[in-house]
Amino acid sequence: MTPHNLPAEPNRFVGRARDVAELGTLVRQHRVVTLSGVGGIGKTRLSLRVAAQAAPWFSDGVWLVELGRIGDSGLIVNEMAEVLGVRDEIPGRLLDGLRVRLREARALILLDNCEHLVERCAQLVAGLIAECPCLRFLLTSREPLRIPGELVWRVPPLELPDADHPDAESVLLFVERAAAAGAREVTASMADIVRLCRALDGLPLALELAAARTSLLSPGRIADRIGNRFGLLTLGDRTAPPRQRTLLATVEWSHDLLQPKERVLLRRLSVFAGLFDLGLAERVCADGGILRKAELLDLLSGLVDKSLVLHHDARGRYRLLETIRQYAAERLAEAGEDARLRDRHLRVICEEMERCYEGGSLDRRMPWSERFPHFVRGRGLLDDCRIAVDWAVESRDPVLGLRLARAALSILAVRGDLGESVGWHERLLALDLSAVPGDLIAVAKGGLAYGLEVGDELARAEELIVQAVEEQKKHPYTHWLGITYNVALTVFFRTGQSERALRYLEELEAAASAHDDLFNLATARIAQLNLALFRGQVRYARRRGEEALALARESGHHWTLARALTHLGAVAEADGDLEAAMAHHTAALPLLEDMDNRVELARCHAKIGRVAAGLRDYAAARRHLAAGLALSRQSGQRRGIVRALMALADLAQAQDDLEGAVLAAAAGTALRESIGQYGTPGRVQQLLAPARARLGEGRVALLWARGMDGSPEEVAARVLDSDLAAAPPFGPPAPAGSRYGGLTCREQEIAGLLTRGLSNRVIALELVISPATVAKHVANIMEKLGFTSRAQIAVWAAEHGLDADHQAAREADIERA
Amino acid sequence: MDERIVIVDSGTGLTLTEEQLDERSAVAIVQLRRRGVRVGDTVLICLPVGPDLLVAADAVIAVGGVAWPVPADLDACVLQERIQASGARVLISDLPQALEAAEESRVRIVMSVADLHSYPNSRELSTQSDRIVPSASGG
């Protein structure tokens, strides 16, 4: 099964059978296929269908990235990373992570609704296909990207009925959807249906909107009414192409038929970034006046019945088609409700995130199974968070914006990616903060410093974190102060200022104990463990670790639990107790998996791999190192790949494979240097010394050079002794290459004749076939052999004994036999 | 090798030998197929009279398609009608008026003359160079 994130089809797909089949082939043969056409012509639906059918050919997945919901072209990379599971390694360098993820991937990426971001999409897609040889793109866009390698495929409307084909695609779609809408005897007047399909230009969205009304209006009446509208179009560009005007007229017609309250709801729903549920719709759209909360469900169902809102999934979420969302957004602006609704959206999303933060609470003692859903819910709101933060900045509302950023921080941290929150905090803190409560600003500075520390921007982090601690101390204690202390001591340890770090550690311990803050007390214990380990006090370190573990168990927070276990594992390793180290690391593994914290999970696999190698359980070591490496690649973590390669070097050395050890260490060092990360040269020298003694200076130098040049994947495959690299390049492999490259007898014959430099016309005369047929055979041969000229075929044919002399000899052989 | 000249461009005086014609046809056939043209498909060809027109027609016929030439100098409305009437999936043209007329038709793919000439480097990386218009023949 190919991994994918394609939604289930909401109803039956009608028509376009040949187009789907043809596009299924085209997306395999062309690097970039762009489905272009006006809104409502069915680009998205067709692309989803094609992607689903092409899935078996893409072993690394088929991935839908919806761009309609994002307004800022800088976020395309974030959306892609989110879908592909790539995590930010260094804030702002997400694209590097995507490259790592996709370099070897046989994947199809479907970018839906590119039109408003064409320029950035073009750059991004062109860059990625140049670097990732097996990657394919399928795009939907009103405008093509105009990049090399792009095949522009213009989506036509559905076929219209004529005398010979009364059952054309457009008619089938209309009848099918009308029946689904509960219309009876809709087919009684085929002539009206034909007229309607023609009036609607066969545009699928227009047909759907019309069909949704057939329970009340007959096809004939709909055709009359929509026909009247073309002259009356008040909106949009009157010079727009006819199809666009048809669609606009139909959307407008369907909109005008709505109850006044339904219209209000529809336009208000346009403020959501993507998916929304009834609860959010109620809180954002109901105002107690025009729209009451109690009516929302009925109104929403009404919009679904009219095909203006789509019921997205079984979890009760809804969404608007992009074309409808844009129309609704225009109506919202026209009604002058834009700012009010976006304010409310910001407030509701902020409250919702705060509720998720509370629910995943740090202070209550509560089982993880009750907390975790809040994290999942919070994550699902990320798209809405983005546009809400944008609005907070645009409308200069730092209070709600900072509250939202604060609540989102804990959700993002559990999963291990803080990169995006850095930008949020920076933009919000740049606003006029005179009306913002001091504690909120202080926490925001701590949040920003946290993200900066993770991204190695220590100088900026240091300045902010001191302010954050001092300012928060003036206010009553919250968990945020504990978290801020922890960031502070990390920053000061990392910059070599251990005195100051220690002072913060003491303050953290005192404050967390005084306020029964188990989460931060556990954090303090882990910091003490690190310090003790650094000083070589193993027993003291273990005791602190055990305390942290007990606190984590008491509070039930898995993130703390996983950290405590991981650190205890490190202590056991330092103590040489590999069995205990194995037990701790193995216990942390499922917790990290559950939280989807891929960065820590990869690190955990690497540690288990190293410990297993020490225990001489080489099979387990290989398994875990391979898993960690794959995970790091999939989440675009080059540091993780470095770590895995270094662990592989240790494994190879433990197995007495010194060549493999040198190769892996060299590949790891090369990658480490390329990302400007400091290493521990001592460790590499420790490994090289015995290799030099055994293999000789020259051999080691040669291996080192090979490892530095080799790709991490190849080197890892060599050490793991697996055959990752031997997979076929694409999909079902071609039938095992026969001697003549799969050429038919006739093609072999023509290839032979080409060695004599004959023209198609002469070959045609010789074989008594038409020149066009000869041309077709020649093209077939070129395609099968991947050649670009007839001369290449001639050379190949001669090499394979297909030229005339050999042919004669072969025939003679056959006669003799 | 057969050096016989088979086509002369009356405008430029450029010639095509039989070998060149065969070569171009073969490449064009591959390109048509790669865009999904099948036996029985109608392919519109809207090009000025000249070697490219002949190569295109040759290739369409060889691939099993039905060549449907449209004069390049038709008036916009007639051009649009003809294109719509053809029901073609593929149009071969570089002419702006033809591309515009195809906007509201059922044409899925528009191929330029450059598309007919260019052959991908290899099958894997095929289309990277697909739409790079060689400066000599761009138009």
For the stretch A454-467, pLDDT in tens is 878 889 999 999 99
User: pLDDT value at position A395?
Assistant: 95
Q: How near does any CA of chain B get to the CA of A30, in Å?
A: 5
User: What are the sequence ranges of the domains in chain B?
Assistant: 5-121
Distance from CA of B73 to the nearest CA of A (A): 23
Q: For residues A467 and A441, is the Cβ–Cβ distance under 8 A?
A: no
pLDDT, one tens digit per residue, over A410-425 is: 887 766 667 788 889 9
List, as ranges, residues 29-48 from B with C-beta within 8 Å of A: 29-30, 33-36
The pLDDT assigned to A454 comes to 83
Structure tokens at A634: 């999939």
Q: Which of B25, B105, B130 sits opposite A775 (nearest CB)?
A: B25
Instruction: Return all residues near A747 (Cβ < 8 A) that are at least 6 apart.
Output: A777, A780, A781, A784
B100: contact with A, CB 8 A cutoff: no
Contacts of A151 in chain B (CB under 8 A): 35, 109, 127, 130-131
Q: In which band, very low, low, confident or very high, does the pLDDT at A580 lie, cut at 50, 70 and 90?
A: very high
Whether residue A782 and residue B35 make contact (CB cut-off 8 A), yes or no, is no
* Average of per-residue pLDDT across B42-48: 94
Digit-coded pLDDT (tens) for A316-332? 889 888 889 989 999 99
Mean pLDDT score across all residues of chain A: 87
Superfamily of segment(s) A17-154 = P-loop containing nucleotide triphosphate hydrolases (3.40.50.300)
SS3 A679: coil
Q: Domain map of chain A by residue range?
A: 17-154, 169-256, 597-726, 745-816
For residue B136, what pLDDT band results from cuts at 50, 70 and 90?
very low
Model confidence band, residue A730 (pLDDT cutoffs 50, 70, 90): very low
Contact A175, A193 (CB under 8 A): yes
Q: What is the 3-state secondary structure (H, E, C) of A267-298?
A: HHHCCCCCCEEHHHHHHHHCCCCCCCHHHHHH
Cβ–Cβ < 8 Å for A449, A464: yes
Q: What is the predicted pLDDT for the residue at B120?
A: 52
pLDDT band at B10 (very low <50, low <70, confident <90, very high): confident
pLDDT at position A726 is: 38
Helix (H) or strand (E) holding B42: strand B42-46
Is-contact A112 A64, C-beta < 8 A? yes
Between chains, do A30 and B126 touch, taking CB under 8 Å as contact?
Answer: yes
Determine the pLDDT at residue A475: 94
**Quick one: pLDDT at residue A807?**
61
- Whole-number Cα distances in Å, A247 to A1, A386, A618, A665: 38, 31, 64, 61
Q: Specify which of A175-179, A707-711, B99-103, B123-127 reaches the highest per-range mean pLDDT.
A: A175-179
Token pair 């010079």 is found at A239
Following DSSP, what letter does each residue of A478-517 receive, concatenated? -HHHHHHHHHHHHHHHHTT-HHHHHHHHHHHHHHHHHTT-
Given a cut of 80, whether residue A768 has pLDDT beyond it is no
Name the residue among A149, A156, A788 with its Cβ closest to that of B127: A149
Distance in Å from the first CA to the final CA of chain B: 31
| Paired tokens of A324 | 């409808």
**Does B107 lie at the interface with A, CB-CB under 8 angstroms?**
yes
Residue range A745-816, CATH number: 1.10.10.10
Contact predicate A13/A204, CB 8 Å: no
Highest average pLDDT, of A299-303, A769-773, A785-789, comes from A299-303
The confidence score (pLDDT) of residue A416 equals 61
* Pairing mode of beta strands B15-17, B5-8: antiparallel
A156 and B107 within 8 Å at the Cβ level: the answer is yes
Which chain B residue shows the shortest CA-CA distance from A24? B36
Q: Which helix (H) or strand (E) holds A602?
A: helix A598-614
Q: Apex CA A605: angle with CA A603 and CA A607, to 5°?
A: 70
* Amino acid B124: pLDDT: 36
Shortest alpha-carbon distance between residue B128 and chain A (Å): 4
- Kindly report the number of other CB atoms within 10 A of residue A799's CB atom: 10
Quick one: average pLDDT of A494-523? 92
Give the residue from chain A lying closest to B30, CA to CA. Answer: A779
Does this complex have an ipTM over 0.90? no
* B133: pLDDT strictly greater than 50: no
Q: Mutation target for A interface from B130, B132, B133, B135: give the one with most A CBs within 10 A.
A: B130
pLDDT digit string, tens, across residues A145-180: 999 889 999 999 999 998 888 889 999 999 999 998
Q: Exposed/middle/buried for A379, CB within 10 Å: 0-12, 13-18, 19+?
A: middle
Reported confidence tier of residue A804, pLDDT bands at 50, 70, 90? low
Cα separation, A472 vs A489, whole angstroms: 15
- Listed in sequence order, the residues at least 6 apart from B103 whose beta carbon sits closer than 8 Å to its beta carbon are A241
What would the pLDDT profile of A608-659 be if each residue is shown by its tens digit? 999 999 899 999 999 999 999 999 988 888 888 998 999 999 899 888 888 9
Hey, what CATH class is B5-121 in?
A: alpha beta
Q: Which residue intervals of A181-259 are DSSP H helices?
A: 190-199, 204-211, 219-232, 242-256
When pLDDT is averaged across residues A108-137 and rounded to a whole number, the result is: 94
pLDDT at B119: 60
pLDDT exceeds 90 at position A449: yes
